[in-house]
Structure 1
Amino acid sequence: MPKYQFHAMNEEAAAAISTWIYPTPYTMYSMDDSEDTLEELMNGEYFYAETADNPCIGFVCMGGSARVPGGYVSGIYDNEAYIDIGLGLEPTRTGQGNGTEFVTESLEFIRRTYGHTNFRLVVASWNERAMKVYQQVGFIKGKEFASSVRGQEINFTVMHYSSSFLI
């Protein structure tokens, strides 16, 4: 039985997620509780995850919402064989061994619901903790590119996952 249950984003979950603040050095992943953030979370590309003891423990997004603007210039989004995904766990749940199971169940949710088997995500290149989790699940590091986030230039690493990698 899966630990996480995924649902289409609703206003209550979006309001909770929009207040998430991550500690240093992960502050670039923090939300700002703005109307724009709430609108994005409600754009139809986000799903929230709940557990038996937490009604909103994480989220997964797909498509354009998962893309980093600098990747368009770098051409990383040209290969349409992959679906772009983004993931987030509630800040107090990060760094505690929850990542591998959350990512695995997120991929399974998307696979079951939409039939996708090839995934692409982008992670800050300095975020070794997240990259380690993604690699444990089966993602492979790819190209790097730079993009501006809140006025700061950040290097990102593209990671790919395909069920064909597992054969």
Structure 2
Amino acid sequence: MQTAIMTKSWAEEILSWKYEPPYDFYNDHNKEESMQELLEEPYFAVLDDGGALIGFYCTGTSAQVPLGLFYGVYLEDSLDIGLGMKPELTGKGMGASFIRYILNQLKTTSSSVRLTVAAFNERAITLYERAGFRKTYMFTGEDMIFYVMAKTI
């Protein structure tokens, strides 16, 4: 795998991704605003060895769920990360190497990382727990529960 700064072409591809229920929560419904965020915030494309887009990750406030700020779940010093994998690649056993790769990219940036995940996404939660993340907070949004998970790297 390799990392590259997000381009408009990759951002367009990401915004076209469609996840099957219940993961369709992650489908993008505000493409113009999302395009701006993907290109202006710290977003990175993750490519396979042949240069094809397989996923992305972001860091900082872009990785935070805004409602979590209200609950104060991001007050502790940690690098927030967000990530997504191409829908056709999810559920195929590639998640462990994907998250391991991203964490290796961030080792020189921070000693601890934090992510926020929707509680229904048991598949991702299991992956994150296997990667060493532990639930630290829970908060509720509109019809959605979120877990904040942290890990020392």
TM-score (norm 1): 0.87
Q: Does 1:46 align with 2:51?
A: no
In structure 2, distance between residues paired with 1:41 and 1:122: 18
Alignment of structure 1 residues 27-42 onto 2, 5 Å: 27-32=24-29, 34-42=31-39
Q: Which runs of 5+ in 1 are unaligned?
A: none
Q: Which segment drifts farther, 28-37 or 15-24? A: 28-37
Q: Does 1:118 align with 2:112?
A: yes
Deviations 1:86-144 (A, max 9, x none): 010000000010111100100111224xx212000000111110001001111011211
**Is the contact between residue 18 and residue 33 of structure 1 (CA under 8 Å) also seen in structure 2?**
no
Aligned to 2:103: 107
Q: Does 1:160 align with 2:150?
A: yes
Q: CA RMSD, aligned part only?
A: 1.3
Q: Does 1:139 align with 2:129?
A: no
In structure 1, distance between residues paired with 2:111 and 2:17: 30
Q: Which runs of 5+ in 2 are unaligned?
A: none
Aligned to 1:86: 82
Aligned length in residues: 153
The CA deviation at 1:44 is 3.2
2:122 to 108, 120, 128: 128
The CA deviation at 1:70 is 1.4
The CA deviation at 1:30 is 1.1
In structure 1, distance between residues paired with 2:147 and 2:56: 20
The CA deviation at 1:33 is 6.6
**Is the contact between residue 41 and residue 62 of structure 2 (CA under 8 Å) also seen in structure 1?**
no
Aligned to 1:19: 16
- Give the match's secondary structure for 2:36: helix
- Identity, in percent, stands at 35
